[in-house]
Amino acid sequence: MKILYLGAPNRKISEMILKQDSLTYHNEKISEDSEILEKKEFVVSFGYRFILPASIVARFPKKIINLHISYLPWNRGADPNLWSFLEVTPSGVSIHQIDDGVDTGPILCQQKTRHDVDKDTLQSSYHRLILHMEDLFVSHWARIRKAEISPCEQMEKGSYHKKTDKNPYLHLLEHGWNTPVKNLIGKALQ
């Protein structure tokens, strides 16, 4: 199968795909007439910073997935790791089909993640989420690529954040990525 990988390459995920399939990487904004889409049969998006046009989503029905570092439907959109602490919502990773919304497509598989709030920083918690995503993908890719997993619609509730939504809380990130997560817990609820 010819796979298009949208986002910065991830070694573990790439190695899993390359066991059976060919892989093309793309990390720039893509348009519906882009040549990179030619002859592709499946799309995997991980850390891709652009919203795909509906025409591209329609071109790959049920064959375009997103690897999102949140426990959907919580923390759709930008900065999911940050928001799981600021709003005290479930943390985890989800693989879902892409639809016309932002992180709203049916879920194929997901896993909750526990963090050590006394020791973790934004950076360490983010790296744990990446490791969990890699493991989730490796465990389920064979069944995903064969459409052997029944997608599950997301619950109606949850949360969504744009990149600019974090601006009122930037002052809390005193140490950037090394900010202890315990300093962030519930701050958006006050």
- DSSP assignment of 108-123 equals EEEEE----TTT-BHH
**Token pair listed for 33:** 């007439």
> Helices then strands (H, E): number in the chain?
4, 8
The DSSP call for residue 99 is -
Q: Where does the pLDDT of residue 190 fall: very low under 50, low under 70, confident under 90, or very high at 90 and above?
A: confident
- The alpha carbons of the chain give a radius of gyration, in whole angstroms, of 17
SS3 169: helix
What's the rounded mean pLDDT across residues 15-23? 97
For the chain, list the domains and their CATH numbers.
Answer: 2-189 (3.40.50.12230)
- pLDDT exceeds cutoff 80 at 16: yes
pLDDT for the residue 155: 83
What's the rounded mean pLDDT across residues 11-15? 98
- pLDDT exceeds cutoff 80 at 154: yes
Q: How far is CA 128 from each of CA 69, 78, 117, rounded to the nearest angstrom?
A: 10, 18, 13
pLDDT for the residue 66: 98
187: Cβ–Cβ under 8 A, 6 or more apart, which residues? 86, 169, 172
What percent of the chain clears pLDDT 70, i.e. is strictly above it? 100
What's the rounded mean pLDDT across residues 157-183? 96
- pLDDT exceeds cutoff 90 at 78: yes
Determine contact, residues 161/59, Cβ cutoff 8 Å: no
Average pLDDT score, the chain: 96
Give the residue from 186, 161, 183 showing the smallest Cα distance to 172: 183
pLDDT for the residue 156: 75
Q: Residues 61-98, buried b or exposed e (16+ Cβ, 10 A)?
A: eebbbbbbbbbbbbbbbbbbbbbbbbbebebbbbbbbb
Q: Where does the pLDDT of residue 60 fall: very low under 50, low under 70, confident under 90, or very high at 90 and above?
A: very high
